[in-house]
Amino acid sequence: MAPRLTKFTNGLLLQDDRLIAGDLWISSDSGKIISPQSAFYGSGSTPDLVLDLKGKIVSPGFIEAQLNGYSGLDFAKQDPNFEQRFRAVRKGLIKAGVTSFTPTMTSSLPEVYHTNLPYLGRTQARTASEGAECLGAHVEGPFLNPERNGIHTKEVLQKAKVWDDIERCYGTDNFRHIRYITAAPELGNMVDLIPEFVARDIIYSTGHSDATFEQAQDAARAGATMVTHMFNAMRPFGHRDPGIFGLLGQQPSRPTTPTQSPQQSSPTTSPTIRSASNKPPVTPPQQFSLPRRALSNSSTRTPTPRSSIDSTRRRSSPRSSLSISTSITSVPDATPEPPFFGLISDGIHLSPPTLKIAYSAHPTGTILITDAMPLTGLPDGVYPWTDGENIIKHGSRLTLEKNGRIAGSAASLLECVNNFIEWTGCGVAEGLRAVTQTPARMLREEGKGRLGVGCDADLCVLELDEDGKLVLRQVWKFGECVHAT
């Protein structure tokens, strides 16, 4: 009979961005973290099991937001034994510390969505022995930009013009199984459809897209709150054309100090002249005189959210040095918050400095993902992929046989955390937060990702080895120990 009340003592608990020494009480009856004080005064309970962690780290269980398959099961392939194999996936995945995940379906034909989505819906039962909890499917496609398809098969990609296109693709009854969607906002009428997803409690993520910064902003304003594997499968960052990455450089929507509008910074008007002239206050556009003509486009009218520069044309040649594609004034009520964004820190998809720069731009929005392929958990070798193509697996490195393109990776989430900590110097707490609290916030998952009273008792007990790397020691799900080394 499993102990009902467990007390962890002498541990370092992850709280926001730091590790704090303290005790943690969990109940396997409710599967949640409890308040010891309430237990003491209320039921007069004392712990059934006291674990002295001797300084080990307690983190909420890891939340994997992008996983394409595991142990050979591809979530985007139809399989007669899908349900059974998926159960095995959940049992295997939790041993890596992943207590919750959103299984990702790469771009597929509608029939595959209709078949598989019912199996990938949110796990209803709170049974610890079943392993990792599925939080609903992540449909990555098929509404992606063919120019930025990665390894998605171009033939199945499509554009959506009306909501009906979306319904026909996934199946009307299957929306309740979808947790979040990755789509290219610049195609079809996707930006207009984003609010429909949001209204159905589906998180919209921009990815596999060639969107410019303005297009990405439009999507954000329409309700996009996440970016799928930043930098990969999108327009590269340009210093005057930051693309989707530019979303991380936005100012917060309500700045604490007023921003300066252009007329005050004009070099030709001086305050003394204005006051001495006794003129009534003039409206800004008339008073304002710019030294250069090129900037007049965006400044002779009162600032509006949209940039005046043509945002739909792809620029083939560099502009004059003074024209910039971003609006130079920021309007308090129109700029959305910087989004959450995924980073694959397997050492294959992104270089270390890139991780550091992205993290520094928006630390509280950083989510680490593996984007791991179904081959994860299988031995090295050559494996068949869709449409007669092959993938070569070598350690955690996967490449498409025909063109050597990166075909995802087979790294573990903990490996990604360790890499991230090493390359950004963010510290253990921040590294762990990027796979716990931040993905939980992105998914709007209230009871997970934190060690708070009332949250699910999904825990990872870790310790640092002599190289300063985190090593997984125990995994707890719903208040029960499901894995220990």
Partner 1 sequence: MKLIIRDDAESASEYVARYIIKRINDFAPTPERLFILGLPTGSSPEKIYKYLVEAYKNDDISFANVVTFNMDEYVDLAEDHPESYHSFMYKHFFAHVNVKPENVHLLNGNAPDLLVECAEYERKIREAGGIELFLGGIGPDGHIAFNEPGSSLRSRTRVATLAEDTIRANSRFFDNDISQVPRQALSVGVGTVMDAREVVLIVTGHNKAVALQKVVEGSVSQMWTASCLQMHENAVIACDDAATDEMLVKNVRYFKSIERVEVEQIERKGRATVAAISEDSRSNQWRGALKKLQVDTNGANKKTHKAENGELTPDSMHGRLVDSAIAMDDIEKMEDGMKLTNMGSRVNTIEM
The Cα 115–Cα 330 span in angstroms is 46
Rank residues 37 and 360 by Cβ distance to partner 1 and give the closer one.
37
User: Closest distance between partner 1 and the C-beta of residue 5, in Å?
Assistant: 12
In angstroms, rounded to a whole number, what is the distance separating the alpha carbons of residues 73 and 85? 7
Instruction: Find the binder of partner 1 among 20, 21, 38, 382 (CB under 8 A).
Output: 38
The 3-state DSSP class for residue 210 equals coil
Regarding 37 and contact with partner 1 (CB under 8 A), the answer is yes
Per CB under 8 A, 388 contacts partner 1 = no
Q: Could you give the residue ranges of the DSSP H alpha helices within 16-77?
A: 36-38
φ/ψ of 421, rounded to 5, equals -60, -40
User: Interface residues for partner 1 in 41-60 (CB under 8 A)?
Assistant: 41, 44-46
Closest contact distance (angstroms) between CB of 53 and partner 1 is: 17
| 291/295 Cα distance (integer angstroms) | 9
Residue range at the interface with partner 1 (CB under 8 A); choices 35-43, 73-81, 263-271, 443-451: 35-43
Our CB check for partner 1 shows the closer of 49 and 295 to be 49
d(CA 195, CA 426): 35
Listed ranges 12-20, 34-42, 110-118, 360-368: which one lies at the site for partner 1 (CB under 8 A): 34-42
Question: Which listed range, 30-38, 114-122, 228-236, 337-345, lies at the site for partner 1 (CB under 8 A)?
Answer: 30-38
Q: What is the distance, to the nearest Å, from the Cα of residue 5 to the centroid of all Cα atoms in its chain?
A: 34
CB of 120 closer than 8 Å to CB of 161:
no
What gap in Å lies between CA 432 and CA 300, rounded to an integer?
48
Q: Give the pairing type, strands 73-74 and 62-67.
A: unpaired
Strand 49-52 with 32-34, pairing: unpaired
Q: How far is the CB of 42 from partner 1 (least distance, A)?
A: 8
CB of 28 to partner 1, least distance (A): 20
- Rounded Cα distance between 358 and 337, Å, is 15
DSSP, res 348? S
Q: How far apart are CA 190 and CA 2, in angstroms?
A: 50
Q: Least separation, in Å, of the C-beta of 55 and partner 1?
A: 17
CB of 26 to partner 1, least distance (A): 16
Residue 40 interacts with partner 1 (CB under 8 A): yes or no: yes
| CA-angle at 148, arms to 348 and 117, nearest 5° | 90
Q: Which residues contact 112 (CB under 8 A, 6 or more apart)?
A: 76, 77, 78, 105
**Total residues at the site for partner 1 (CB under 8 A)?**
10
User: How many Cβ atoms are within 10 Å of 425's Cβ, its own excluded?
Assistant: 11
Q: Which is nearer to partner 1, 391 or 451 (CB)?
A: 451
43 vs 304, beta carbon nearer partner 1: 43
Q: Pick the stretch among 32-40, 340-348, 394-402, 438-446 that binds partner 1 (CB under 8 A).
A: 32-40
| 46 vs 127, beta carbon nearer partner 1 | 46
Whether the Cβ atoms of residue 137 and residue 103 lie closer than 8 Å to each other: yes
Q: What is the DSSP letter of 123?
A: P
Radius of gyration for the chain, computed over Cα atoms and rounded to the nearest angstrom: 25
Closest CB to partner 1 among residues 36, 447: 36
Cβ-based nearer residue to partner 1, 41 or 163: 41
Tell me the window of 39-47, 231-239, 420-428, 435-443 that interacts with partner 1 (CB under 8 A): 39-47
Closest approach, Cβ 254 to partner 1, in A, equals: 25
Residues in a beta bridge with 18: 15
**Shortest reach from residue 50's CB to partner 1, in Å:** 12
For partner 1, the closer CB: 40 or 163: 40
Nearest approach, Cβ of 462 to partner 1 (angstroms)?
Answer: 25
Residue 20 in the binding site for partner 1 (CB under 8 A):
no
**Contact string (CB under 8 A) for partner 1, positions 156-175, x = contact:** --------------------
Going by C-alpha positions, the residue among 417, 242, 437, 446 that lies closest to residue 343 is: 417
Q: Between 45 and 189, whose beta carbon lies closer to partner 1?
A: 45
CB of 36 to partner 1, least distance (A): 6
Please identify which residue in 35, 127, 269, 308 interacts with partner 1, judged by CB under 8 A. 35
Of the candidates 413, 408, 462, which has an alpha carbon nearest to the alpha carbon of residue 438? 413
Rounded to the nearest whole angstrom, what is the least distance from the CB of residue 38 to partner 1 in the complex?
6
Q: Give the interface segment with partner 1, choosing from 37-45, 143-151, 168-176, 329-337 (CB under 8 A).
A: 37-45
List 3, 4, 23, 400, residue binding partner 1 (CB under 8 A): 23
Which pairing describes strands 49-52 and 5-15: parallel, antiparallel, or unpaired?
A: parallel
Where are any strands of DSSP class E within 68-126? 69-70, 73-74, 98-106
Q: Which residues bind partner 1 (CB under 8 A)?
A: 23, 35-38, 40-41, 44-46
